[in-house]
Structures are given as structure tokens and as C-alpha cells.
Amino acid sequence: MPKDHGIGASSKRREDVRFLTGRGRYTDDINLYGQAYVHFLRSDVAHGTLNGIDTSEAEGMPGVIRIFTGKDFEGVGGLPCGWQVTDKHGNPMQEPGHPILAQGKVRHVGDPIAAVVAETAAQARSAAEAIAVDIHELPAVIDMRKALEPGAPKVHDDLDSNLCYDWGFVEENKGAVDEAFSKAAHVTTLELVNNRLAPNAMEPRVAVGDYAAGTDDSTLYTTSQNPHVIRLLMGAFVLGIPEHKLRVVAPDVGGGFGSKIFHYAEEAFCTFAAKQLKRPVKWTCSRSEAFISDAHGRDHVTKIELALDADNNFMAIRTDTCANMGAYLSTFAPSVPTWLHGTLMAGNYKTPLIYVNVKAVFTNTVPVDAYRGAGRPEATFQLERLIDKAARELGVDPVELRRQNFITEFPYATPVAVEYDTGDYHATMDKLLIMIDRDGFDARAAKSKEAGKLRGLGINCYIEACGIAPSALVGQLGARAGLYESATVRVNATGGIVVMTGSHSHGQGHETSFAQVVADMIGIPEAQIEIVHGDTANTPMGMGTYGSRSIAVGGSAMVRATEKIISKAKKIAAHLMEASDSDIELKDGQFTVAGTDKSVAWGDVTLAAYVPHNYPLTELEPGLEETAFYDPNNFTYPAGAYACEVEVDPETGKVKICSFAAADDFGNVINPMIVSGQVHGGLAQGIGQALLENVSYDADGQLLSASYMDYAMPRADDLPFYQVDHSCVTPCTHNPLGVKGCGEAGAIGSPPAVVNAVIDALHRGGMTHVGHIDMPLTSARVWTAMQG
């Protein structure tokens, strides 16, 4: 029977009460007394020298308080990059400055040039229109390969070239990999693009800066996935505000998908300007502005090769990727195509030799950084498309080719530096094949054919490294931060509990699922537990939510803190019952002395902790509050098998998704309903990437897909009813809950299934010349590919 509360129960999301009834409190709902508004004047050219900014007319416009330009930020730090990648020669990456407002040059459409603070948002915007900017336009570099050509215009004049780094992984393996290729019985090669995406969280970014002159305290309200990280980066590197004088609040946040991890110029601006002007300063991003100021995702161009022996065993993989950084290094940008991508190139397969080369490139485009999956979708897409192509070339069943090469023994150390603790890839594949009725495919295909449609089936596996991340390891890899998580469990006198977590929920449902864990551990109702997050003033230093890390890392910290609570509570209970604490058992919120009928309730113990009349004061402090920090000793490795069935209209190239099935192994599952929801959302984004979404620039760096008129977001009727399953469980071996994380899987695993299915459909329709089609597989692209 399914559980009705605690771990494993599909408890209803308590946060939805406020989200679904319009009672959420988002950053834009925060309005402070005396608040002014800022409007950013942004570059409308991709590349140019900033000769002059004339603000004289604008300054006289109604309501204008002050106009800031790059000059006002000389002496203020630029936006820092949180990860330093070392190139294949052992040199640090090229790291350009990233000013809050453009200094000397503009480098992408959307680069902020000036900031007008006025009494109203409309006045600020009107004044911004009156600013005269003298820009000498320069040739822009948009295409990565062209950006790397000798003599290409440089995005940053003070760097040697547009190459951020040339990364080889594992460089020492390169010789052996090349040798394996020279001996291979078969080599499959694929060139592909991983299309650039705009993250499009439902809530655009907002920042409100506030300054208390009486105490010299600064506060920033912002749409962030990690308020402590913003406090650290902005306080220490940009504005020079010590952390005890800076509070960052990320209240209800309407989706992030990675784009709200990073520290952005607008946040620093509002905090800075509030102090300068002694007034709160607010910025609300418009959707149009989001397209040119939120960090984009993906944008890789890759050549990948697979060497197989005569028995179809994978011998070696070699990849060559160009990864777009955009015009500046966003906070974690350098890590995405390297440590979050190269380390996943083994996939679910025991390929002994792998070499990954990544050239990160500066272009005159919006910065690119982590977006749901971050690096892992890129790795999965290449590998799973490649294996499909290999199976086709070899004339073998793509599922069998995968199965033959599955890793089956754990722990498994890949040749790309990670160690999978556990998994069972046959189990998820078995499950998937049952879910999709593979045997019935031919009959379904025949039916489609009668209707004039080509049906195709695409299957793939995926693996991801989540639960980010062991601090010592990432430190060696160039991270300039630790990646532990924290929790404080505060038990009140009457037994209610407040958990203050360093994780941040922006749609994931932590307020529900985290409460389930603590309720389960103590044996009290979930309603007695409140989860608090998002405010540096009342939560312990935490690293926030991304990389499917919250339950695996944040949840583990909470478990550790709760264990400390239980341990202390048992001591108090032992005192109350005049027993030894080693004899105390806690079940269903009752402490009993083992083997007796003596018991005290949870509430008796919590009351005694705060009203310590009868209390072991000589041995224990009163109160019941514990904090734990948890640093994982490995990543977690969720994995699974996905399948997509499509119908292609041969006359128009239009792709319809008929069904999509996902069999995931997330380890133990806290709330199956929430997990299914996470998978659904990820699948929508993955299918969106595969069929619809594309950030498109013209050769001059103008953004062509600058609104929803041209940037196609998936809608409900673009998507099928999903079949999702997470009943295959190999618990994580190194965290207390045995959990792996589920936030990104859907987005990571789904694009190759869709593309594999379309290619399958075309081949079944006789169009065997179509080796690959780059995403998104719009009807126009599919039709064009079909023409040969």
C-alpha cells in the first residue's frame, strides 16, 4: 500500500496553496517605502567601441534621480567567475573582466550601458530613451569556429584571442585513444550541434536593493536559487560589503532552471545604487529583456567518434567540442562544458578509453552558463545519438548494442575521473521495454502508415552526476567555492519544528518533501514541521539549489541535524524516565524504555528542553536546536532509459510525439508525486529543445528569436501524456537517505530519444540518407533533410 505520510508518500505540495491562489510572495511583490526604479539602457549592437554617453537631456527628464554609467563603477569590482578551468597545457583559462555597466566597449546585444534611476519605472524608461550613446560599431564574432580563426575580431582586446581555454580530458589518455581508433574494426562519426536555449523561467528576474543608513546594513531581495552564494560573490568580490552587513533574500522564486544561480550585474547595481542614493532601488526584468540578459544554455558544436571492435564492444570515444561562453564568463560557465560534460562521456557504458577536447570560445552573444542539466545533456545527446548511428551502420539492434556495453559491476571507475557507486542499467531498460510495448511497435507503425505517416521509435539511456558536489574534489577541478549544504533544525517548546535549510526551493516542493523526511524520522505529523529557506539572515550558510543536489546534499544535512536532535532528545527522555539513554527508543513520536511500557511523548521532551525544571542541566544544555553541514564524498548517479515514439508527416516534415516513456533510477524516492512532476517538467524542456526551442542570432549578432513570436516554447498540446516510472531503485551508497536526485533527468535524457525516433521514422520510410538532423527538429529542418 502506498504510504500516506512520511518518506515515500505522495504528500500534496503545501506550497501550492499559496502559489495556486495568487498568494505567493515573489520578489516583484516586495515594494519598500521610498523605492525608486531603475531602467537599464542596453546595447542594441553586438560589438562596438563606446565613444561617449551623453546623459544631459535625460538628466532633466521628469522623475530622474540619477543616471549611472560605467564610470561610476571604476574602482568597483566586476562580476566574478566562480570556476577556473586549467587548459591542456596546464595554464589557467583566459578570464576577462565583466563590468557592472559597460566600460569602453559593448560586447553583446543587451550589454548594459547606463542605468537610469527614477521615481517610476516608466520615467526611468523614458529618460533612458533620451540618452545619446555614441558607439563605433565593430565587426561581431558570432560563429564559434570563425571566432577561433586567426585575425578574427576579438571580443576582449586585452586577451590573446577569443579562446577561453583548450581543455583536454584526460590529456594523458589521448595517445591510447588515438591508438585504439587506429585498431578499430568500425568507427562511427557524428557531427552535431547542441542548440542554444533561453531558460525562460516563468518569473523574470527582479532585484530590490535596500540600505539602512542608520546601521550601514545592505539588503538585496533577488530572484536567486542560492542567496548565500550571491551574498558571498557580491559582498566579497563586487561591492566590498562584509557578509555580516549584507543580507540576501530570495523569497518565492518562480522557476530558475539554472538561470538564477548566477550573480548578475543588476543585483549588484541595485545594492550599490541603494547605498549611493539612500533609497531602495528596484529592477523588474521584462520578458524581452530576459532574452538578452539571462544567461543562455547549451550551444555546443561537436564532432564525436566511437571505435568498436569486431564484436561491437566499445573500445574508445573521442570528442572535439566548441562551447560558446558568450561575451563574458558567467558565474559557473567554464565548468559546464568541462567538469559537468567531459566527466559524463562514459555514459552507462564500459568504454575503456575516452578523450574529450573542449575549446571554450568568446563570441558577441549573451553569456552562456548552466541550464537544467548543464553539460550532462550535451554529453548524453552526443553519446546516445552516436550509439544509435553506430547500431544502424552495423545493422544491430540499438537496444542490444547498448546492453552489450552496459556497465554492470559497481562501484565502477570511468576513464573520465568519476566513480559510479551503484546502478542497474538493465533493470531500467527492461522496465522501459515493458512500458512502451516494443513488440507492438510494428503494428502501430503499420497503422501510422495507413494514415500516411512515418512512425519511429527512439530509445536511449542516460546517466548524470548529481548531488553536486564533494568540495575537495571540485576544489581540485577549479571551483572557487565549496559545495556542501547545511541545515538547522529548531525544535520549539511545544514540539513543532522549523528546519532552516541552505537549499532553495523555486518550484521543487522542498517545503513538502523535506518535511516528510523529518516527520518520518521523528514519527510526528508533517504539519508539525515548517521548512524555511531563502534568507541569509535566518538560514545557515548554504550553497543553494541546482545540479539535482537538494535532497542528496541539503536533505543529508537535514538528516544529520535531525539525528543530533534525536540523540539529545533521547538523553532528555532518559532523564525524564530515569533510564539509560542507550535504552531509549523513538517510534511514532513516543520515547520508550526498551522492554518496558514506560514512555514519554515527543512533546513532553521538547517542553522539558525549554522549561528545564526536571532536566539534566549538569550534563546537557537546555533547548533543542542543532545544525549540521554535509559535504558529500561522491556525486550521485541517477540513470535510466527513455523512449519516444513519433509520427513524421512525410509531406511537411512535421513531427508529432505519440508517446514518451521514462524509466528512471533515482535511488530512494521521498515523494513520488513530486518526483514525477520533476520528470514531467524536465521532459517538457528536453522535448522543447529537441523540437522547438532555439536561440538564433544573425551574422551581425542581432537576436532573431527575441520574443515568443519567434522563440518556440513547448505548449501542452506539443507534448504527449508521459509514462514515468521510478520503481527501479538502487539506493545511493554514500548518503543517509540513499537518494540520487531527480531534478534534471528529464531534460538530460529526452532529447536523444526524440531525435533517434525521428531518424528511425525517416529510415523506415526509406530515407536512409538522413544520418542526423540538428535540433530543434522543426518541420522545416526535417523536410529539408528529407529532400537529401
Partner 1 sequence: MYNFEFAKPTTIADAVEALGHEEAQALGGGQTLLPTMKQRLAAPATLVSLNAIPEMIGVCLNDAGEVCIGGATTHAMVVREAAAHYPALAALASHIGDPAVRNRGTIGGSLANNDPSACYPAAALASGATIKTNTRDIAADDYFQGMFETALNDGEIITEVRFPVPQTANYQKFVQPASRFALVGVFVAQFADGVRVAVTGASSDGVFRWTEAEAALSGDFSKSAVDGLSVPSGSMISDLHGSGDYRAHLVKVMTGRAVAAAG
Name the E strands within 285-406: 300-308, 314-326, 353-362
Rounded-to-integer distance, Cα 349 and Cα 460, Å: 12
The amino acid occupying position 763 is H
Hey, what's the cell of 687?
522535448
Question: How many C-beta atoms surround the C-beta of residue 779 within 10 A?
Answer: 15
- Binders of partner 1 among residues 684 to 713 (CB under 8 A) are 691-692, 694, 696, 704-705, 708-713
Alpha carbon 318 to its chain's center: 26
Given the complex with partner 1, which of 577 and 785 has the nearer CB atom? 785
Q: Residue 88: count other Cβ atoms within 10 Å of its Cβ.
A: 16
Helix, strand or coil, per DSSP, at residue 174: helix
121 binds partner 1 (CB under 8 A): no
Among 20, 185, 699, 780, binds partner 1 (CB under 8 A): 780
Q: Give min distance, CB of 699 to partner 1, in A.
A: 13
The H or E element that residue 17 is part of is: helix 16-20
Cα 156 to Cα 97, 104, 294, 493: the distances in Å are 9, 11, 20, 59
- Smallest separation, CB 784 to partner 1 (Å): 7
CB 710 → partner 1: shortest distance, Å?
5
**By C-beta, is 567 or 784 nearer to partner 1?**
784
Residue 703 burial by Cβ neighbours in a 10 Å radius (0-12, 13-18, 19+): buried
If one asks whether residue 120 binds partner 1 (CB under 8 A), the answer comes out as: no
DSSP secondary structure letters along 412-466: EE-TTS-EE----HHHHHHHHHHHHTGGGHHHHHHHHHHTT-EEEEEEEEEE--B
Residue 246 CB, shortest distance to partner 1, in Å, is 35
Tell me how far apart the alpha carbons of residues 121 and 688 are, in angstroms, rounded to a whole number.
33
Q: Which is nearer to partner 1, 221 or 711 (CB)?
A: 711
CA distances in angstroms from 65 to 52, 221, 497, listed in the order given? 21, 21, 46
Nearer to partner 1, 379 or 655 (CB): 655
Residues between 18 and 47 that touch partner 1 (CB under 8 A): none
Binders of partner 1 among 708-747, rule CB under 8 A?
Answer: 708-713, 718
Angle at 727 between CA 724 and CA 733, to 5 degrees: 125
Q: Give the Cα separation of 569 and 575 in Å (integer).
A: 10
Q: In the complex, what is the shortest distance from the CB of residue 289 to partner 1, in angstroms, rounded to a whole number?
A: 11
Name the residue nearer to partner 1 (CB basis): 472 or 699: 699
Nearest distance in Å: CB 642, partner 1: 22
Select 509 or 714, whichever has its Cβ closest to partner 1: 714
| Site for partner 1 contains 288 (CB under 8 A) | yes
Angle at 682 between CA 677 and CA 688, to 5 degrees: 130
Instruction: Quote the crossing angle between the two packed helices 602-610 and 555-576, to the nearest 10°.
Output: 80
CB 323 within 8 A of CB 300: yes
CA distance 246 to 237: 13
Query: What is the contact mask toward partner 1 in residues 231 to 270, using x (rule: CB under 8 A)?
Result: ----------------------------------------
Choices 139-147, 169-177, 547-555, 773-781 (CB under 8 A): range interacting with partner 1: 773-781
Instruction: Indicate the residue among 588 and 651 with the shorter CB distance to partner 1.
Output: 651
Candidates 373-381, 388-396, 518-526, 777-785: pick the segment binding partner 1 (CB under 8 A). Answer: 777-785
Shortest Cβ 783–partner 1 spacing (Å): 6
Please report how close the Cβ of residue 409 comes to partner 1 at its closest, in angstroms. 45
CB of 280 to partner 1, least distance (A): 24
Nearest distance, CB of residue 655 and partner 1, angstroms: 10
Taking CB under 8 A as the binding criterion, the range among 122-130, 500-508, 630-638, 766-774 that sits at the site for partner 1 is 122-130
Distance separating alpha carbons of residues 683 and 754, to the nearest angstrom: 10
Rounded Cα gap, residues 588 and 310, in angstroms: 60
Q: How far is the CB of 81 from partner 1 (least distance, A)?
A: 31
Residue 39 or residue 263: which is nearer to partner 1 going by CB? 39
Quick one: angle between helices 398-405 and 376-394, nearest 10?
Answer: 120
Q: Give 182 or 286: the residue with its C-beta nearer to partner 1.
A: 286
Cβ closer to partner 1: 122 or 413?
A: 122
Cα–Cα distance list, 606 to 114, 570, 574, 767 (Å)? 56, 11, 13, 71
For partner 1, the closer CB: 126 or 750: 126
Instruction: In angstroms, give the least distance from the CB of 143 to partner 1.
Output: 16
672-691 and 745-764 helices cross at what angle (nearest 10)?
50
Other CB atoms within 10 Å distance of the CB of residue 613: 7
Q: Shortest distance, CB of residue 224 to partner 1, whole angstroms?
A: 27
Tell the smallest beta-carbon distance from residue 635 to partner 1 (Å). Answer: 36
With CB under 8 A as the rule, give the number of residues binding partner 1.
26
Residue closer to partner 1 (CB basis): 696 or 768: 696
Q: Which amino acid is at 183?
A: K
Q: What is the DSSP string of 140-168?
A: ---SHHHHTSTTPPPSSTTSSSSEEEEEE
Residue among 132 and 708 whose Cβ is closer to partner 1: 708
Of 25 and 287, CB closest to partner 1: 287
Task: Give the range of 59-67, 125-133, 159-167, 172-180 binding partner 1 by CB under 8 A.
Answer: 125-133
DSSP character string of 335-369: GTTTTTTGGGTTTTB--SEEEEEEEEEE-SS--B-
What 8-state DSSP symbol labels residue 81? Answer: P
User: For partner 1, which is the closer residue by CB, 119 or 178?
Assistant: 119
For partner 1, the binding residues in 632-691 under the rule CB under 8 A are 651-652, 654, 691
Q: How far is the CB of 712 from partner 1 (least distance, A)?
A: 4
Binding positions for partner 1, rule: CB under 8 A: 122, 125-126, 129, 288, 651-652, 654, 691-692, 694, 696, 704-705, 708-713, 718, 778-780, 783-784
